[in-house]
Amino acid sequence: MMRTVTAAAALVGAVAVATAVVAAPASAVPNRRGNTEIVPNATLQSLLVSVDAPVTPGDAGGVEFGIVGQPTSGVVRHVGGITISTLTGGQLELRNFWIDTGAGTVSAYVGGVGRLELFELDGLTLELNATASTAIAGDASLVGAPVAEAVVDEWNF
């Protein structure tokens, strides 16, 4: 069931229940540390508005996000982003994804809000968590929904 909640209101609610580390998005150019390719499934493809630089096409049909900096405590930081439509009529800008290999989560800088954990990793499958579901659907109906596969093209640390 679609709700008339705006994406902004959904995000405000999500921020209230999530731990957000507000940080400015990184603007570094990818270096030779490697790339992680994200291959969206039909669900994410249907919501995708744009892929935002700096990214490159991937070998597996997805988009490669360049790794920046030296991974610390199992966190691999990436530049680039995507913009997706929400089911409530808005759009979300997601940039500078961080993969926390220890916690099995992926966070992103959400435009106008800050850094939020949005995905759980099931192996290399990205699944929406409650924060992402609320932001996209206005409710928890998409929790656990798979949206993409991660392909580790090359990590050089």
Per DSSP (E only), the strands in the chain are: 34-40, 48-52, 55-57, 63-72, 75-78, 81-85, 91-100, 105-110, 114-122, 125-128, 146-155
What's the pLDDT at 152?
Answer: 77
What's the pLDDT at 157?
Answer: 64
For the cut 70, the answer to whether the pLDDT of residue 80 exceeds it is: yes
Domains of the chain by residue range: 7-155
pTM of the model: 0.77
Tell me the pLDDT tens digit for each residue of 94-138: 999 999 999 999 999 999 999 999 999 999 999 999 999 999 999
Tell me the pLDDT tens digit for each residue of 12-37: 333 322 222 223 344 445 557 888 99
How does the average pLDDT of the chain come out, rounded? 80
β-strands 63-72, 75-78 pairing: antiparallel
